[in-house]
Structure 1
């Protein structure tokens, strides 16, 4: 394949004489038009943009005047014309290009202002198939890419937030635009079209039920530049994808400083876990530290749910993230602020609770307006060296009807309720995961160990430590149930849980040694159920 090579001279300063504007978002358009006109720049525009500019008293030419061809096919074809793209792509210092422009009456276009059809917005609001397709912009991306390629001469703006920056550039230079500014805008423009195309390709994959398309594009819009990443020597940015899912990316920050990289990661983990519990069934609270639950509680009252979650591991809860499945109430807020907490996230907040939280200036409070649907489809991505792992979100859930009792003893109704609860929590604990639960609250959690036995023992130790802190004679794991995110490969993990006091067990099953594990449960008089569903979380 031949490689095209042409040396394009770089001129630092360009004095623009003509701008083409075609925007779906009219915010800031009038001010921008007045700025350009004030610097002697002729305005050329399309349809609704031209109407908005002329309505503001600005002189504007229609694109049809430039092309000599009317807009056709309901506006689908208006800028796809040599007079537009020739004016964008021409190398101003090339004699051949100049001759072609003169021969075909093509005038240069020095500034292009485009923001695209609102495809992402239509998609997020669940537009039907024809409406979503109609909001795929064609001419806009073509002009953006052409202008960005020819940034040696052309300035391209794709975001209303850059209008003020252009105005400042023109003011500072006396009506000129420097190469560094053009280059920066070109880089942003290609990022914009890439994100736009990624949204379209992702939507198509969903629309035709293609789990693994031949090409996978993942994109986001910069929301915040982090002070640093997981560690101070790492840089980081927070990008939002536009997914219509209540959570940290869409939440309102009511108070407190900017969330850190680790705050965002942990807050997402906390709220996704809280979302597992329907508020119709009662209040739920999840306390997270380093992306792992250190306590989860459910109760009829929010305050009791929080107290149940805190009791599981009050030491680890210090400096943690607290998530609720309902509006934050004043009584709960009063209790939460007694312990140092980094972030509280909830669907809403009562006025009295807001006032209580306001006294803690460094405590971040986020509200989301809703809960994430734990059963909703979605994708998750993780980078590896040279590649990207993409999988569907773990939307798996088990109900009572899914459980298979494999022991001689049947679990009691109370045990069954706690087993379902514990398994939902285990889904959000890093593997290997062991969760002890009793009366709708966790009483011991073991996470992220290489051995399931170690996870079981760590969870039991944490339960003993919590019991000592509360002045109890014995840990709450006595008479509890235990959940394992994956099968017990040997009976030793189960025996460790039984020694901690568990009376019923929930696990996926499927081990080559299931018979040995079931035998150990029967010998101890423990009830065990299989789910047939694993919840690894790495």
Structure 2
């Protein structure tokens, strides 16, 4: 029995090789792996001795040889294959232990050049892996050091690796080489600044953790991260306290974080079931918390809170008084963290680059039965052409109203459609998410404001709508609630009806020329 060993990650390889030699396995090796085994006293045949051809081109060509690949691909059950090997004086290779040049580690290094990245694209390694895996009935191929013990134990017990294990190892190889090639293709796409949707879409992610369950207890789930540096993403956060994040925690927290990134001043966003339930901006983070909390003291219970400033002791003491699932902030005063850690179940995360936005070219993916719909993320707030944002009513909004409208416009971008957001003094006062018509969303936001804050909550408030008003009924509802300014995309064939109604009631209205559907 012969084993070919050529690894970039040398974890446990010397111990494995010694065990194999003890079982009577002949070792063939290459380059740095051969030198390592030789230094450790492991007998091995150098690859060029086997092939009769020297390594060349700085080691780029060493295993790409018929003696290697015929030894891997020959099917032992076919007499004609074995006869050809005998005629060519080629011996079979029964075990392949290979892992690849560290392409991922290379591209993640700061300041890496394209030449460095390309030089770390492995050619011979994937070729050997694929040859061995194709002939899995006869060859055990190991790409993951975590499988060393499985292979060794079966060799010791049965003098061979079982067919079932070989098939499992085959699957791992093709998953590994697929992941490897996808990383390379993705890197090259980014190097070319290629923003086109490709004819075939291949993506790769790495598993962070299995989850207890998915959206519901009967659903299985796992969390995967993209490969690369993604500052400001939940995958980059460090958990300081609490249980593992659940499927719903991750989904809801991600939405809250993306909303938080729209604000630069001290801001707190509370989120529940993927919708904001309280948002507040102020001069201090404590004032911002007070606004967000008082906007909806009911819905924040069991919710997500994300904060774009360091958490103070005062803020931690306030948050401790209610049940929260997740808290995310760029930092915590030591005393504040101690307070939060007294609640063993609350998930406390630190995300240093919490305000860093996603790249505008990032994909938003939605799985549908039998396919995938893909779009770039909704990275814009307003059109590039500022002239599209215009006051369309006789009543021109004041500076304070414009500030509140922009506050609400940021918020409604992350409310499920049909969505309405009400705000006053940089505080959310009412949110109407996910209704099947816009007037219901408006009425819901107004009703919630009255119920949760008080009858006067909407007097002097502003209203933001994620899409245009098809009728003037939303303006009617806004007027009855005392709302004084409205921001919406415009674009309905009946825009004039809403404009006329605003003029009748003295409501200022701004068209943005851009909608923000969120389904």
TM-score (norm: length of structure 2): 0.91
1:493 to 454, 470, 474: 474
**Residue 426 of structure 2 corresponds to residue 434 of structure 1:** no
> Measured at CA, do residues 457 and 34 of structure 1 come closer, stay the same or move farther in structure 2, by a change above 3 Å?
farther
Q: Does 1:480 align with 2:465?
A: no
**What is the SS of the residue equivalent to 2:69?**
helix
Q: For residues 184 and 175 of structure 1, what CA distance do their matches in structure 2 show? A: 18
1:295 is paired with a residue of what secondary structure? Answer: strand
Per-residue CA deviation, residues 117-150 of structure 1 (Å, 9 max, x unaligned), is 3333444557444333333332222222222222
Which residue of structure 2 lines up, in the alignment, with residue 74 of structure 1?
58
Q: Partners in 2 of 1:104 and 1:332 — Cα distance? A: 77
The 8 Å contact of residues 270 and 292 in structure 2, kept in 1 or not, is answered as yes
Select the residue among 270, 281, 289 that pairs with 1:306: 289
Unpaired segments ≥5 residues, structure 1: 1-16
- Are the aligned partners of 1:22 and 1:114 in contact in 2 as well (CA < 8 Å)? yes
Q: Describe how 1:414-493 pairs up with structure 2 within 5 A.
A: 414-467=400-453, 472=454, 474-493=455-474
- Kindly report structure 1 stretches of 4+ aligned residues shifted beyond 6 Å: none
Inter-partner Cα distance in structure 2 for 1:36 and 1:349:
52
**Structure 1 counterpart of 2:508:** 527
Aligned to 1:14: none
Q: Structure 1 residues 87 and 233, CA, compared in 2 at 3 Å: closer, same or farther?
A: same
On the 8 A contact 1:490/1:516 being kept in 2, the answer is yes
What's the counterpart of residue 95 of structure 2? 111
The question of 1:513 aligning with 2:494 is answered: yes
Report whether the alignment pairs 1:355 with 2:341. Answer: no
Displacement of 1:399: 8.3
Match of 1:135 among 120, 123, 126: 120
Aligned to 1:3: none
Distance in 1 (alpha carbons) for counterparts of 2:330 and 2:31 = 41
CA distances 1:151-177 after superposition (whole Å, capped 9, x unpaired): 212222323343444455556x26542
**Alignment partners' CA distance in 2, 1:40 and 1:272:** 58
Is 1:249 aligned to residue 235 of structure 2?
Answer: yes
Whether 2:370 is the aligned partner of 1:389: answer no
Change (3 A) 1:513 1:98: same
Unmatched tracts of structure 2, length 5 or more: none
Instruction: Report 1:48-87 matches (<5 A).
Output: 48-87=32-71
Distance 1:167 1:417, change over 3 A: farther
Corresponding residue for residue 8 of structure 1 = none
**Aligned match of 1:288 in 271, 281, 286?**
271
Using the alignment, how far apart are the partners of 1:493 and 1:31 within structure 2?
Answer: 73
Residue 308 of structure 2 corresponds to 325
Q: Does 1:277 align with 2:263?
A: yes
Alignment of 1:161-180 (within 5 A): 161-170=146-155, 173=157, 176-180=160-164
- Conserved in 2, the CA contact under 8 Å of 1:423 and 1:483? yes
Q: How much does 1:389 deviate?
A: 0.8
Residue 299 of structure 2 aligns to a residue in which SS?
helix
Find the aligned partners of 2:339 and 2:151 in 1 and give their Cα distance: 44
SS at match of 1:19: strand
Q: Could you tell me whether the CA contact under 8 Å between 1:375 and 1:396 is conserved in 2?
A: no
Tell me if the contact between 1:276 and 1:374 (Cα under 8 Å) persists in the aligned partners: no
What is the Cα deviation at residue 431 of structure 1?
Answer: 1.0
Contact 1:297–1:440 (CA<8 Å) still a contact in 2?
yes
Matched position secondary structure for 2:236: coil
Alpha carbons of structure 1 residues 321 and 76: separation in structure 2 relative to 1, 3 Å: same
C-alpha distance in structure 1 between counterparts of 2:462 and 2:22, whole Å? 74
Given candidates 57, 65, 72, the residue that maps to 1:88 is 72
User: Is 1:275–1:374's contact at 8 Å kept on the other side of the alignment?
Assistant: no
Query: Does 2:219 align with 1:234?
Result: yes
C-alpha distance 276-137 of structure 1, shift in aligned 2 (>3 A):
farther
Tell me how far apart the structure 1 counterparts of residues 410 and 104 of structure 2 sit (CA, whole Å).
32
Supply the distance in 2 between the matched residues of 1:165 and 1:370 (Cα, whole angstroms): 41
- 1:217 is displaced (CA, Å) by 0.9
Map of 2:199 onto structure 1: 214
After TM superposition, give the deviation of residue 475 of structure 1 in Å: 4.0
Please name the residue that 2:10 is paired with.
26
Inter-CA distance 413–118: structure 2 relative to 1 (3 Å threshold): farther
User: How far apart are the structure 2 equivalents of 1:313 and 1:113?
Assistant: 59
Equivalent position SS for 2:298? helix
> Could you report, residue by residue, the CA deviation over 1:482-515 in whole angstroms, capped at 9, with x for unpaired residues?
1111111221123323333322221111111112
Contact 2:204 2:227 in 1 (8 A): no
Aligned length: 513
